[in-house]
Amino acid sequence: MDWRGTWVNQYGSVVRIEDDAAGRISGTFETALEDSGFYGEIVPIVGVASGNCISFASVCKGKAGDMAVAYTGLLREGRLETAWHYVADDRPWWKAVITNTNTFERRN
């Protein structure tokens, strides 16, 4: 599976995978959601992939302070179905953790 390319989710957020050599991936992530702590940032991602499975993560300092997000997904019928987990240090801990799902489609 060649993961390289631009992947866009249902909200317009973009994952660009620039390298996928030897099962390791790298690239960037840019959210389209203005209420996200990552909004306005283009953050590096690193991860691993095998077959139709992929996992990648990023950390950065943004408007929400120190933040981390990790995606795990499976390519199904040409779409990347993912679950993600986000943590940030700007809120009380019980509000600092978010988990959800996204679907990405390859744009090129």
Which segment, 15-19, 36-40, 84-88, is predicted with the most confidence on average?
A: 15-19
Mean pLDDT throughout 42-60? 96
90: pLDDT strictly greater than 90:
no
Nearest to 37 by CA among 70, 72, 66: 66
Q: Which two tokens stand for residue 71?
A: 């995606």
For 22, 68, 90, the CA distances from 19, given in Å and listed in that order, are 9, 21, 32
When pLDDT is cut at 50, 70 and 90, the band that residue 101 belongs to is: very high
Instruction: For 11-64, list the strands marked E by DSSP.
Output: 14-19, 24-30, 43-50, 53-62
Containing 26, the helix (H) or strand (E) segment is: strand 24-30
In a 13 Å sphere around the CA of 77, the CA atoms on its Cβ side amount to 1
Task: Please tell me the least confidently modeled range out of 2-11, 37-46, 68-77, 98-107.
Answer: 37-46
pLDDT tens readout for residues 64-85: 789 999 999 999 999 999 999 9
Which domains does the chain carry?
5-106 (2.40.128.30)
Give the whole-angstrom CA distance, residue 94 versus residue 9.
Answer: 27
For 4, 50, 55, 78, the CA distances from 20, given in Å and listed in that order, are 6, 10, 12, 18
| pTM flag (> 0.85) | yes
Mean pLDDT throughout 76-97? 90
